[in-house]
Amino acid sequence: MNKACLEKIELLLKEKDTVRQNGSRASARTREATKEVVLSAFRLLHELGFRLESPQALRQKHIRALVRHWWLEKNSAPTLQHNLSRLRQFARMMNRPQIIGQVTDYLPEVDPALLKVEVAARKSRAPASAKIDMTELFRVADEKDTRLGSMLRMELHFGLRRMETLKFNPHLQDRGTHIEIFPGQAKGGRPRLITIQNEADRSALDLVKNRTPKGEVLGWPFQDNGAVASLHQNIRRYEYLLRSIGLSKKDLGVTGHGLRAQFAENRMLKAELLPGVLGGGGSDLESCELDIRRTRISEELGHGRKEILASYVGSTGSNGKADSKERAKARIQAAVLSMGKDLPSVPTDRQDTCAKLLVQLENEGLELNLRQVHLLWVNWSRRCGIEWDNNPGEHVFLLLASYSV
C-alpha cells in the first residue's frame, strides 16, 4: 500500500476515534475492528491494481471491486455486511457516507436471499455431504495441476482460505507442530497458528513441501505465456481449474470453500463435538469446556469469536441440551441400516484396526460387525483425504458418526 495513504488513514482513524452517529465514542473493540477492516480493504485494493494515494480518493468503483472480490473469495453474508459496516463508518469520518451502498447494490446478479445474514448453517457445505471421496478428488486435481492438488490439501487439512493458500509458503510456514499464517496472508491481517493434529496432516504438508520449490508460495509464479503472474491472475486460474474438475455448485454441488467447512466439521468431531449440520444439537460438556473447544476451532479458522463457528458447522448447543453421544449413536445406527447386508470383506491388514474400533463402539453400547465398522472407518479416512488411517486413537466414537446417510 502507498505509504502516504497508509499514514493518512491512520491519522484520520486516530483523529476521529470512531465516533458513532449519536455522537458517543465507540468501544475499543469496535475501533480496532474498523481499523482492521479499513487497512485490509486498502491493502486489497492495492493488490487488485488500484493505487490510491489518499483515502479521499475512495470511490464507488473501489467499493464495488472490494465487495465482488470478497464474494468471489466465498466470504459469508455476515462477513460482507460487517466489512461494509466498518467501511461505512470510515466514510462518515471523511464526511462521505454516500459512497457506501448496500451489499445488494454491488451484487445485483446474486439472489438477495443469499446475502441475508443467518447465524448458523442449516446444512453441511462440505464435499463429504455430497458423498465426494477426497482421495479421488485429490487424484483428479493432481492430474489437472499438481499445484491445485497441493492447494486443496492445505484447505482440507488446515482450513486455509483461498487467498491464504495462494500465498502460503510451505517451507517457511511449517513450524513442526503447527503451521503459521502471517498477517500479510490472513484475512483482516489477523495471524494465527493451526495445529498439525495427526499423521494425515503431517503427510499432506510434507507432500506439499516436496512438490514446492523452496522459497516459492503455492500460487503459480508464471502465466502460461511465461509472464509473471499477478495475484488476480492466480485467482482466476484457481477458479477456472476448480470448475474444470467439477468443484462447483453447478456440477458437484459444493465449492472450493466447502473444504474449509469440512475442516471445521472434522476438527469439531476430533474435539468430541457433533456439528449441528451432522445432526448435533448439544453437548454433555460443561459450558466453560464447550466454549474452550469451540473457541480453539474458531481461532484456527481465523475468527476471533467462537460464535462464527456456527456459520460453518451449525448450532452446537450448550450445556443441558441433548447429549452429543446419543445423537452420534443414532446417526451411526442409521448409517448401518443404509449400508445393507452385502458389504465387501475387510482386507487382512485392516482387521486389527477394525477390531479396536469395535471395542470402542461396544463400550458405547453399539453392536456392529467387522464389515460395518470397516466401511465407517473408510468413510472417515477418505473424508480426511487418505485411503486408510491405521492409528485411530482412543476417542473416535464421534468420528464414525460422520458417515453420510
* CATH number for position 195: 1.10.443
CA angle 168/174/175 to nearest 5° reads 140
Model confidence pLDDT, tens digit, residues 231-259: 989 999 999 999 999 999 889 989 999 99
Residue ranges making up the domain that contains 346 = 324-405
Q: How confident is the model at residue 21 (pLDDT cuts 50, 70, 90)?
A: low
pLDDT computed for residue 320 by the predictor:
45
Are 244 and 134 within one domain? yes
404 near 385, Cβ under 8 Å? Answer: no
Domain-embedded: residue 287: no
Number of domains in the chain: 3
Shared domain for 70 and 178, answered yes or no, is no
Q: How far apart are CA 75 and CA 95, in angstroms?
A: 28
CA distance 216 to 3: 26
Given the C-alpha cell 488500484, which residue does it identify?
Answer: 50
pLDDT, tens digit, 9 for 90 and up, residues 189-207? 789 999 999 999 999 999 9
Res. 26: pLDDT tops 80: no
Please say if the pLDDT value at position 297 is more than 70. yes
Q: Give the pairing of strands 192-195 and 178-181.
A: antiparallel
Question: Does one domain contain both 80 and 181?
Answer: no
Q: Per-residue pLDDT averaged across 355-367, rounded? A: 94
Q: Rounded to whole angstroms, how far apart are CA atoms 41 and 48? A: 10
Residue after which a domain boundary falls, among 202, 236, 259: 259
Contact assessment for residue 316 and residue 352, using Cβ atoms and an 8 Å cutoff:
no
**Domain presence at residue 277:** no
Task: Report whether pLDDT(316) > 90.
Answer: no
Mean pLDDT of 32-56: 90
What are the b/e assignments for 198-217, b being 16+ CB within 10 Å? eebbeebbebbeeebeeeeb
Number of residues written out for the chain: 405
Q: Which of 134, 140, 136 is nearest to 154 (CA)?
A: 134
Instruction: Specify if 191 maps to a domain.
Output: yes
Residue 67's domain is classified under what CATH number? 1.10.150
Q: Are residues 49 and 172 in the same domain?
A: no
Angle of CA points 124, 126, 131, to nearest 5°: 100
Q: What is the pLDDT of residue 24?
A: 55
Note whether residue 318 is domain-resident: no
Distance, in Å, from the CA atom of 167 to the CA atom of 161, rounded to the nearest integer, reads 10
Rounded Cα distance between 288 and 257, Å, is: 30
Whether residue 43 is contained in a domain is answered as yes
Q: Indicate if 7 and 111 belong to the same structural domain.
A: yes
Query: Which of 113-127, 295-309, 329-343, 370-384 has the weakest average pLDDT?
Result: 113-127
Has residue 94 been placed in a domain?
yes
* Grid cell digits, residue 371: 464389515
Say if residue 397 is in the same domain as residue 354. Answer: yes
* Same-domain status, 72 and 157: no
Of 115, 138, 172, which residue sits at a domain end? Answer: 115
Residues 138 and 203 in one domain: yes
Q: Is there a single domain that holds both residue 15 and residue 73?
A: yes
Question: 188 and 108, same structural domain?
Answer: no
List 63's β-bridge partners, or say none: none
Q: What is the mean pLDDT of residues 213-228?
A: 96
Say if residue 343 is in the same domain as residue 393.
yes
Q: What is the pLDDT of residues 111-169, one digit of tens each?
A: 887 787 666 788 899 999 999 999 999 999 999 999 999 999 999 999 999 999 999 99
Looking at 85, 115, 145, the residue that finishes a domain is 115
Task: Specify if 268 maps to a domain.
Answer: no
Lowest mean pLDDT among 29-38, 292-301, 311-320: 311-320
Whether 183 maps to a domain, the answer reads yes
**What pLDDT score does 110 carry?**
86
Q: DSSP characters for 82-98?
A: HHHHHHHHHHHHTT-GG
Question: Residue 186 — very low, low, confident or very high, per pLDDT cuts 50/70/90?
Answer: confident
Q: Is 293 a residue whose pLDDT tops 90?
A: yes
Shortest CA distance to 67 belongs to which of 105, 116, 112?
105
Residues 132 and 232 in one domain: yes
